[in-house]
Amino acid sequence: MTRHTSGQALPRVQLLAERALATFERFTHIQAASGVILLLAAATALIWANSPLAPSYHALWHTPLSIGLGELTFSQPLHFWINDALMTVFFLVVGMEVRREIHEGSLSSLRQAGLPIAAALGGVILPAIFYLLFNDTAPRQDGWAVPTATDIAFALGLLALLGRSIPVNVRVFLLALAIIDDIVAVLIIALFYSGGLDYSGFLVAGAGLLLVLGLQKMGIGTAYAYILPGAILWVGLLMTGAHPTLAGVVLGLMTPVIPIRMRERPLDMLTRLAGELTGRASSASNDIEHMSEHLRQLRLAQRELLPPVVRMQSVLHPWVAFGIMPLFALANAGISVEGMQLSADGALWVTTGIMFALVAGKPLGIIGMSWLVVRLGWCALPAGVSWAGIWLVGLFAGVGFTMSMFIAMLAFSDPNLLGAAKLGVLTGSVLSAVLGLTWGAIMVRRLRGTASPVPAESY
């Protein structure tokens, strides 16, 4: 058999395939790209739901999908599996992002986290007040939390469109604020939008958590081992009446931020095993069993080079950004304008309240609270971040697409009010995006006209 040497030329087809895969991988890690895909999915849903094919749109999401074993079956419409099951993975990534930021990021110290925490609270409280100014009666007032959330992927994607002229600390500040915003949104869902709790479900959820902790104590690092405990936790929360997607947040916060303990450092182990494998491969007598064991150890060492929280975020990000979130938008952004009655039940006020709260309440709450804590001397603006940058963050924070849609579906059972809420989220998010991009373009021109070029290493 002819052995392939490292310097051998590859077939042209293989080279083209490698280049295509490399390009695709780079594309999936661009923040702006995920925002564009999300926007296209929402636009597709809107067009589909208001076209002659509208019946097929609604019929698709009500298609039952069942899983079962023997006589035990669990059947739910496709809409449920997207919103309550797949979105758990979205919340898992959110939980891991929070865990990572608390460990070594912008939330790792009170000094660093003080200003984004204050700004996020202002961006939650003022939009809720603005919404209630328009909707102070039941059941419309139940939507007070809809405009309090920020869509991380969308906001960061829009910021990325402005290019590298925007100081890097503006992005860090927006990321920290959006993460805290999501923490608050998760707490709101748990406290205000969970039904009457069935406490027997907590026993099942507790069993799932104990299994997770047990596997971590045993040093089990493969993600596949945690699928069953995660599923048990999800079922337990579903039984309690709490929203089952909270299981994702819990698991994300429990994800280790350091690699599992090994007898040998992963890098040293990789070096040793690579040398041993090279020696065996060049020998005349190859022991397949020993080779297989060395390869297994090699995969283990390679896996443990990165902490689980970093590794899993990297694996799940493309699936969430380019799969789950666009699918969620496609399933939930299809508002049928023809069937909506904004004049009935105060639906117009729901739309107006959410839109006004996102476009005005979010930026004013964030900027106002930031100004107050800086003025009082409790916090200081991050290096390189001006008040123009805080305004930019405030405007982009009004893009509440994914999380706001999610909360709207928990807040309203009336289809007309739910449609009005979704319309308010869409219009408010689009207006916030336009205002943010406009202000960002002005800011970029000013920075390019007045500042010297930023050194490449500061990016």
Cis peptide before 52 (omega within 30 of 0): no
pLDDT(268) > 70: no
Q: What is the pLDDT of residue 294?
A: 65
Using CB atoms within 10 A of its CB, is residue 194 exposed (0-12), middle (13-18) or buried (19+)? middle
**Cβ–Cβ contacts within 10 Å for residue 14, how many?**
10
Q: What is the DSSP string of 155-191?
A: HHHHHHHT-TTS-HHHHHHHHHHHHHHHHHHHHHHHH
Domain 32-194+243-259+306-453 has CATH 1.20.1530.10: yes
Of 80 and 161, the structure prediction assigns the larger pLDDT to: 80
pLDDT category of residue 458 using cuts at 50, 70 and 90: very low
- A 10 A CB-CB count for 270 gives 18
Which residue has tokens 């797949």?
86
Q: Is the pLDDT of residue 36 over 90?
A: no
- Looking at residue 277, what is its pLDDT? 66
Q: Is the pTM of this model over 0.95?
A: no
Residue-range domain boundaries for the chain = 32-194+243-259+306-453, 262-280+288-305
Going by pLDDT thresholds of 50, 70 and 90, the confidence category of residue 165 is confident
- Reported as half-sphere exposure (CB side, CA atoms, 13 A), residue 426 has a value of 22
Tokens of 380: 């200081």
Residue 245 has pLDDT above 60, yes or no: yes
Query: Can you read off the two tokens belonging to residue 385?
Result: 């971040």
pLDDT range class, residue 83, cuts 50, 70, 90: confident
Query: pLDDT (tens digit, 9 = 90+) per residue, 316-326?
Result: 888 888 889 88
Per-residue confidence (pLDDT) for residue 35, from 0 to 100: 72
- With beta carbons less than 8 A apart as the criterion, state whether 255 and 309 touch: yes
For residue 226 the two structure tokens come to 């945690």
